[in-house]
Every structure is written in C-alpha cells, then in structure tokens.
Chains A and B, each alone.
Chain A
C-alpha cells in the first residue's frame, strides 16, 4: 500500500483486482453503463437544442428504429450486416490476432461478387451465378486475411498494421476496377442487374437475416464444442501453453484466418447481392472497425455479439433519426455511439477491479509509527477481522 509521503496518510482509496464478481453484478454494471451513455447522449442533445432535445432524444431513439415497418426491417438488416462482420472477426480476436482490416476484407468479398456479375451476369442462370459469386467472394475474402496470417505465423509480422494497410489496398483496387468497368469516368457503379438474392415473403433482406442467424449458431457450436475452437482459444490465451500441449500454432493461426476470411467474404456477398446490389470504395461504411468494438463488447461469444449488434444498431439508427429531426447532421450519431462505446468499455474497470476506500476508524492525519506500512496493513486486517 502506497503512503502519501507528504501527509503520511493512507491514500483515499486503492484498487485491487477481483475475479470473483458475480454475474448479476457484472451485467448490472454493463446495463448501467448503457443507461448512463444514453442519459449523457440525451443531455448533450438537450444542451445543443436548448432543452427541447432531451425528451425528443428518447422518443426518436425508438421512433427511428420501430417507427415504421420499413425501419424495423432496416434495423434487423443493419444488425445482420454488423453481426456477420463481427462474427467474421471473432475467431481472429479470440486468438488475439488483432485484425483491423475487416473493412478491406469485406470489400474484397464484395469485389469478388461484382467481378462475377460483370463477366458472367446474364450468360448463365441466376442460381448458378449466385453460387459462383458465393465461392468467388469467399476466395477473395480468404485472400485478404490469409496473407497477413502467413506473415504473422512465419515471421510474427505486426498484423494490426498489415491488415490496416490491406484496407487501403483493397479500396484502391475497387477504385481501379470501377474505373475500368465504368468507361464514362463517373466512378459510380450503378445498380447491377444480375445476382440479386431472392426476396422472401415479398421483402428484401429477409434471407440475409436468416443466413446470419444460422451462422451465429454454427459459430457458437464451433467455438464451444469443436477441437478447432478449443485450439484457437488456447493460442489466444497463451502461445507458449499451446506449444507445450502440442498445438501447431502456425497452422492454427492460418486455419483460423481462413475461417475469418470465409466469413468476411460472405459478408461482402451479403453486402452486394443481398443489400446494395452495387459496390463503391466506401460500401462497408466503417463497419469493419465498429465490428471490432461490437465483437469485443460481446466477449467474442456469438450470441452475446448478436445482442451487442442489436444494441449498437439501435443506438446508431435511433440517434441518426434524432439528428435528422433536430437538424444536427448525420455524423451526430457517431458522437453518440462514441460516447456509448467509451462508457461500455470503461465500465469493465468496475467489473475487473474493486475500489477499497481507506478505513475511517483511525483519525485522519494521525502521525504514523516508524514502520507505517506494516502497521496499516495490520490495522486493516484487524478491521476486517
């Protein structure tokens, strides 16, 4: 225990680690953080609009998400899109492979789709086209994850920066392709006529939502019950332990990143064939970065990640609606989601650590004896006893 040299007093509080926090308390803290984040969001909104925004913030949060059937569908579609990218990242992050290149990996998956549509669209039946798109987009996604994985496994190259750089390479690659495909130089690829996912019940996006839900369940089983899932968790916890128990670390890294790439490519397919029916350099809209936060908040557990995706998209879509209604501009939602993330990340402190305040039984400012450290320790023990 550190003593304040000047006053000779025990510090006001000190921090100890704890691992035994009950589940209910941990979740109460997390929910509390979300509530506080929303309150801060409402207060900031109220402050910017002279008070009227405070109540409107909560109202619009719900109206923006559940106001019309269209918005509800968009809500689930956006959640599915966020979740599939988060799911794609989860195997890598569970292995402590800091992949911040999902933006590029998903974009490459999308590029794979568009390549198929450009060169095969209309020449083969739609079903066959979608099947080929499925394979090619995954191959492209895998290409973009496996290159950094090989270098990481072989030479321990910093994967964070490698994958980051691959994002920009992917964006420029898409830009080059679009310039080639659109000879007019407008750099906008219009809506592609082929390779659309079929509608279910007259609605778009339903297939996306179903597919992502299935993948969520499959990935949960993979993590929880398969040998692969066990191995990648061990590699994430400690590379040395993995080596001692005879896990081939290099193989696990590359294999897991292939899985991650398959899912990223699939996310690209959902983006092009299931959502936008076109591609631009900014099609992923920063989801590759946000998905890291969403996956981390969900503790890389697929079902929890489903929950955090819903929560994130709820706040994002809802605060976008607030910003539109109050004329605050589209980027206002980024500020609100930023605040949300700060609080939810910071609340982990209260779960992992315990703050002990100094005991007030002793009078403050007491002159301490010559061996203060031992003495205070002892008195603390006596108090607890």
Chain B
C-alpha cells in the first residue's frame, strides 16, 4: 500500500520537477516567468499535435514505430514550449515590458491553446503512443520493492531527474552558471564584466521553457495515458511554488517534487472515500504546507535562501 503510494508519487513528481527545473533556470537569470503554467500547457498542446500529426503521417497507429513517435512528439513539445518562451523573452527582454503581466497573459494564452488543440485533434491511437512513453525497464511480473521504486517508470521520469541534476550542476559549478547567477543578481555588474545580459537571459528563459514544456508532455502522455487533461496549469502554479520551496535548487527540487506529489495524492490513499468532504480537506494540505514553508523561510531569512536580487526587474543598460 505505502509502496504503491510512494511509487505513484515519484511518478507524478516528474510534472512538478520539469516545471520547477525550467522555472529555476529562468529565475536564475532574473526573469520571474509566471507564464510557466501556460508554457507547460503549450508543451502539452505541442505533444498532442505532434502525436496526432505522427499518426496521420505514418497512416494509422498500426504503422507507428516507438522511435519515430517519441521523437516527433518530443520535438513538437519542445517547439511549442520554445515558442511560448520566445513570446515571453521577446516582450520582457527585448521590449523590456513588465514580466508579471506578460507571464499572466502567456498563461491565459497557453491554457487556451491547449484546450483549443485538444478539442480539435484526432485522439485515436494516443494510448499506443502513451505506451511507448510509459514503457519501463524490464522488470519481473511480481516486482520486488527495488524494482517498483526505481525501475518501474517511463523514460520521462528519469529524464526529469537527470535534467534537474544537470541544471543544478551547471548553475552551481560551471562558469556559465556563475555568469548566469551574476546576471540574475546584478545585471549591470555582469554587463560591466563583459557578460552578455541579453544572451544569458534569452538562453536561460528559452531552455527553461523547453524543460517546463516537457512537464505538459509527461502529464498527458505518461500520467494520463494519452488522455488530454486541461488542468495542467494548476500543476504549473505548484511548480512555481516549488521553486521557492526548494530555494532555487533543482537538486533539492527532486525531493521537493516527490513531497509535493505525495501531498497531492494523499487524499486518494488516506481518508474515507464515502466522505468526500474529508478528501477535499486533505487536498488543501500541499498548499498549506507550501504557505508555511514560505512564511518560515521568510522569517528565518538566510542569505542562501533568497531569490535572485534582480528577479522580476527588467534590465536596460542606459538606466541608472
């Protein structure tokens, strides 16, 4: 019982982890992208279009090959989330407009796009494509605890964890990461030191958007077995919260996202299903816990757990 709870939590954690890793990378460059929920939806829209495009291209799902299907779907997801990131980056970095409102507009747009695409594509064969994504390592028919906890997931869960580790290492240990953090903390100083603020901001936001977009792909193709779900934006908002929760560290976000999904799934494992009010009350817990953590970190207020100093501000070199 607890094993399946933990297993399904680790599986669901990928959607939070993709979102949080992407958003952390973006925020490290000083861009507070509140459009992440929208970008995850756009990634979902891309995946839906990609899957349906692939099926019609090969002439029916019976001709589909795992490699082609996965490649097309991921590619379309990346293109769509890149597009979302580009809209955001162009408006906030090149045109230097307000980041928060741009992000919110992007969320509106992304939610609309996913619902629009999801309602119009031909969904036959999606479950087959979903099978390719959920295919796990070869494990025995009666898996022991090790196989269940570590080997039973589809490829995207592992990709999420690997990406989080890579991003954490890049941010903390490399020169590129040092420059990126400098841009997020104080762009004027970074600029004076010869770091191209615009390039770093664009790079971090676009790569971050593509990572976040994979969250939408994971949710539709893995978690929901190819059924289109339109509530991805609420996961996106939780991913934004997770970034604060893990104080801008993707490696901590791996554990944080598992905790979030454990809280998220809590109501289906504890409590009486014949008493739905209780389940609804338990669903409140992840938000309450996040709020408490937010308050505690702000009261403790350690230097290591502060957001990038210029988060949310636009940078214009000639402004003093």
Show the binding face of A for B, using Cβ within 8 Å.
15-17, 98, 100, 151, 155-158, 160-162, 164-166, 168-169, 172-173, 175-176, 179-180, 185, 187, 286, 289-290, 292-293, 296, 328-335, 337-339, 341-342, 345-346, 348-349, 352-353
CB-based contact B87/A165 at 8 Å: no
CB-based contact A151/B295 at 8 Å: yes
CB proximity of A121 to chain B, nearest CB, Å: 21
B contacts with A: majority SS: helix
In whole angstroms, what is the CA distance A100 to B100 when docked? 10
Partner of A331, one of B91, B95, B115, B240: B115
- Other than A289-B107, A330-B115, A331-B111, give 4 A-B pairs with Cβ distance below 8 A: A161-B240, A168-B237, A176-B281, A338-B109
> Is the CB of B269 closer than 8 A to any CB of chain A?
no
Interface CB pairs A-B, < 8 A, 9? A160-B100, A162-B295, A180-B277, A185-B276, A338-B110, A341-B109, A348-B95, A349-B95, A352-B96
Whether A166 touches B244, Cβ cut-off 8 Å, given contacts A16-B318, A292-B104, A335-B116, is no
In whole angstroms, what is the CA distance A315 to B299 when docked? 44
In whole angstroms, what is the CA distance A20 to B87 when docked? 28
Complex interface: chain A residues within 8 A of B116 (CB): 328-329, 331-332, 334-335
CB-based contact A334/B291 at 8 Å: no
Complex interface: chain A residues within 8 A of B139 (CB): none
CB-based contact A161/B109 at 8 Å: no
CB proximity of A115 to chain B, nearest CB, Å: 15
- Nearest B residue to A173 via CB reads B284
CB-based contact A296/B98 at 8 Å: yes
Whether A17 touches B318, Cβ cut-off 8 Å, given contacts A292-B101, A331-B115, A332-B116, is yes
CB proximity of B283 to chain A, nearest CB, Å: 5
Whether A342 touches B109, Cβ cut-off 8 Å, given contacts A16-B318, A172-B283, is yes
Partner of B298, one of A157, A175, A337: A157
Show the binding face of B for A, using Cβ within 8 Å.
34, 87, 90-91, 95-98, 100-102, 104-113, 115-116, 119-120, 234, 237, 240-241, 244, 276-277, 280-281, 283-284, 287-288, 290-291, 294-295, 298-299, 301, 307, 316, 318-319
In whole angstroms, what is the CA distance A155 to B299 when docked? 6
Complex interface: chain A residues within 8 A of B95 (CB): 346, 348-349
CB proximity of A143 to chain B, nearest CB, Å: 14
Partner of B240, one of A164, A166, A168: A164
In whole angstroms, what is the CA distance A176 to B279 when docked? 8
- Nearest A residue to B112 via CB reads A334
Whether A345 touches B294, Cβ cut-off 8 Å, given contacts A155-B301, A172-B280, A329-B120, is no
Partner of A342, one of B87, B98, B316, B319: B87
Complex interface: chain B residues within 8 A of A155 (CB): 295, 298-299, 301
Whether A168 touches B97, Cβ cut-off 8 Å, given contacts A161-B294, A331-B115, A338-B109, is no
CB-based contact A290/B108 at 8 Å: yes
CB-based contact A334/B109 at 8 Å: yes
Complex interface: chain A residues within 8 A of B87 (CB): 342
Whether A165 touches B287, Cβ cut-off 8 Å, given contacts A16-B318, A151-B295, is yes
In whole angstroms, what is the CA distance A301 to B301 when docked? 35
In whole angstroms, what is the CA distance A179 to B281 when docked? 10
CB proximity of A291 to chain B, nearest CB, Å: 10
In whole angstroms, what is the CA distance A98 to B103 when docked? 13
Complex interface: chain A residues within 8 A of B244 (CB): 158, 161
